[in-house]
Amino acid sequence: MPAPCKTTVAVFKFSSCDGCQLQLLNMEDEILSLANEVEIAYFLEARRRTLPGPYDVALVEGSVTTPDEVERIKTIRGQSKFLVALGTCATAGGIQALRNYADADEYARAVYPHPEYLHFLPTATPIAEHVPVDLELWGCPINKGDFLEVISALLQNRKPNLPQHSVCLECKRRGLACVIVAKNTLCLGPATRSGCGALCPSCGRGCYGCFGPQPGMDLNSLVPTLRAMEKERGETARLLRNSSGYAPAFSKAAESILEEEKKQ
Amino acid sequence: MTASNAKIINSIEVPALARVEGEGGLYIGVQDGKIKEIRVDIYEPPRFFEGFLRGRSMFEVPDITARICGICPVAYQMSAVNALEASQGVSVTPAIRALRKLLYCAEYIESHALHIFLLQAPDLLGQESAISLAAVAPEVVTKALRMKKVGNAILRVIGGRSVHPVSTVVGGFYRWPEKDNLTALLPELEWSLTAAAETVRWATTLPYPDLEIDCEYVALRHPQEYGVLDGEVVSSSGQKVSVAEYEKYYLEEHVRHSNSLHSHTRDGKKYMVGPLARLNLNSEQLGPVAQSLMKELKIKPPIHNPFKALLARTLELVDAYADAIRLIKGYNPEGPSRVEFEPKAGEGCGASEAPRGLLFHKYSVDGQGLVLKARIVPPTSQNLARMEADLWEFAPKVLDKPHEQATLACEHLVRSYDPCISCATHFVRWECKDGE
């Protein structure tokens, strides 16, 4: 039995690549002390022993893509005091939410010879579309520092201090040349939530939005700028439709571009 | 096995396998002391990558395919760029190829260190996890984490981050990494190389379950080096084909009783890919440090015990550190980091050796460089038929053991393959109906 004073933490996987769970295992300097601080009650990728709920904290990776997952997330919510949606699959549906803009049945026919045996939903959706979520931690994958801040805040019973600015500001802080201005490269940095440390611009390429839209950001001013820079039609819409493509702000912006292009 | 034992074990059921990547289960049905059914069940939902890759620019493909697997994103980027560059008739410069090899070494380090110590070793040391192992042998786990960390550090220097690195592009890299940032890692890599050599010695002392299965092994072979980044597809029965011909010789098939597609060779053999297959086929091409360890410890491939894939991983880990040191010392970025080209219509195949085994990609693109068709054959779907076949050999040997022990032993066999279930885009859950 866990010591009664320890916070119990459970890690669950839904449809995902496992990368956010791996980020937990990639905390080489912190994982052992974290395992001492909290009771890791359920974390199948790391341990065979599982403890039954209820749990103080549920960390949920992945999006909901099957009828089974719809039921499972409800059960987990019922067992958990505080539920964190971990990573862009859990907060926005992830890369597999690209199916939401296509005929998923047609995908199934294209990929699998016997699609009639598949159990899947037509859409891949974020956790918050199914159950109340207490905190969303964005990122594809999540940033380890942000994660540690969330866990520390929960243990200290305070609000986590997460970055509230855009990738664009991160570039300015790092003194990186703007790839839009200097390299004429399409970049979602002005509209994307920071957390990566301006990774893509620091590699000489444009941001592709994997930490999701920056809340309150006005895409109406960025989109025309990007579209004017396109070397080929559709580049901006594709940029918006990546791993965070189903996040409402990116989804809406991409949709209006595509509608406009259809009219032309 | 005796009748009384058969009463004890009616079935072995593991609804959710622990310490594997992704979601899978294991079912072994026993009737009158005889095994009737073995299934490695895959619950991981299909994610349709091959579907939504269509219509994307080829330059977006490495970012998208990386998302197939958080543990081996580099493998998914490398097989993709190999295939797309083949479709364009583009070859990269030796400097670009060397940096790709270094990036791949980093992924082998991170992935193999994770599997050896955190995923498989607990089975051999009587622990449920590395967390419980740390309570009794903290030095093993601390060493493992330190060895793993330097792999992630290389990934960060080259690719910005260790999960889904961002610097790879069709034609090369978006930028060269700073030499100083790489050379700063040399002391830690030297320490890790020594630690890895100790790990090989330690791995020869572990109590592997007895199992000898002489099966078909398939891996890439490169004329000048231990095949990882590219090569020809070779098999232990002497088959040698180009990557472009892979699909003609290695087929996928629906098996009614199973939840997934199973791979087999053209003549129906269930084959193994991964560290043991690579070692058994290409051990002479491992570097001098690994060679001298094999000599010292009298490790003589072929090794036919699937549990000993761990030993193969330790040798590959030594080679990855040694190679990373060599590549960093020789790193001298010259010329552009990226071969520029105008997209044209074409079709191409590419493969590389993911830590878990051969990973095949095929793309056709149109004149604008948009993907028309994509096909991905991940290592785990190739190994699935082999896992079940091995269980048919192994499970009867453990049925006389107490239920928990028998279950653990069968789970261990599956884990020794390092299955990467999220990877297996082909893995699907089939509805099984009686009589079908």
CA distance A79 to chain B (A): 19
User: Does residue B368 surpass a pLDDT of 60?
Assistant: yes
User: Does residue B436 surpass a pLDDT of 60?
Assistant: no
Answer whether A26 sits within 8 Å of B162, measured CB to CB. Answer: yes
Answer whether B141 sits within 8 Å of A18, measured CB to CB. Answer: no
Of A122, A129, A119, which Cα lies nearest the Cα of A107?
A: A122
Answer whether B46 sits within 8 Å of A199, measured CB to CB. Answer: no
CA distance A95 to chain B (A): 7
pLDDT of residue B168: 98
Interface predicted TM-score (ipTM): 0.95
Answer whether A95 sits within 8 Å of B20, measured CB to CB. Answer: no
- What is the pLDDT averaged over residues A120-131? 94
Of B309, B246, B253, which Cα lies nearest the Cα of B278?
A: B309
Query: Is the C-alpha dihedral spanning A45, A48, A54, A57 positive or negative?
Result: negative
Sheet holding B240-241, edge to edge: B240-241, B232-235, B216-221, B271-272
Q: Which of B128, B159, B175 lies closest to A204 in CB terms?
A: B175
Break chain A into its structural domains and give their ranges: 7-155, 167-263
Answer whether A141 sits within 8 Å of B422, measured CB to CB. Answer: no
Tell me the C-alpha distance between A91 and A89, whole Å: 6
3-class secondary structure, B27: strand
User: Does residue B286 surpass a pLDDT of 50?
Assistant: yes
- What is the pLDDT averaged over residues B247-252? 90
User: Does residue A123 surpass a pLDDT of 80?
Assistant: yes
Chain A residues whose CB is inside 8 A of the B169 CB are 205
Answer whether A47 sits within 8 Å of B43, measured CB to CB. Answer: no
- Residue A186 near residue A180, CB atoms below 8 Å: yes
pLDDT digits 0-9 by tens, B404-426: 999 999 999 999 999 988 776 54
Answer whether B429 sits within 8 Å of A118, measured CB to CB. Answer: yes
Q: Which of B23, B46, B175 lies closest to A118 in CB terms?
A: B46
Of A263, A254, A262, which Cα lies nearest the Cα of A100?
A: A254
pLDDT digits 0-9 by tens, B163-186: 999 999 999 999 999 999 999 999
Helices assigned H by DSSP within chain A: 19-25, 31-37, 67-79, 88-92, 104-111, 144-155, 167-174, 179-183, 199-202, 219-229, 235-240, 248-263
A-to-B residue pairs, Cβ atoms closer than 8 angstroms = 181
Answer whether A107 sits within 8 Å of B48, measured CB to CB. Answer: yes
Q: Which of B129, B163, B368 lies closest to A22 in CB terms?
A: B163
- What is the pLDDT averaged over residues B261-284? 93
- Residue A8 near residue A38, CB atoms below 8 Å: yes
**At B257, is the pLDDT very low, low, confident or very high (cuts 50, 70, 90)?**
very low
Q: Which of B48, B60, B164 lies closest to A96 in CB terms?
A: B48
Tell me the C-alpha distance between B290 and A73, whole Å: 47
- What is the pLDDT averaged over residues B60-80? 96
CA distance B422 to chain A (A): 6
User: Does residue B255 surpass a pLDDT of 70?
Assistant: no
pLDDT of residue A183: 93
pLDDT of residue B214: 87
User: Does residue B309 surpass a pLDDT of 80?
Assistant: yes
In words, the CATH class of domain A7-155 is: alpha beta
Pairwise pLDDT comparison (B305 vs B42), residue with the higher score? B305
pLDDT digits 0-9 by tens, A232-260: 889 999 999 999 999 999 999 999 999 99
User: Does residue B39 surpass a pLDDT of 70?
Assistant: yes
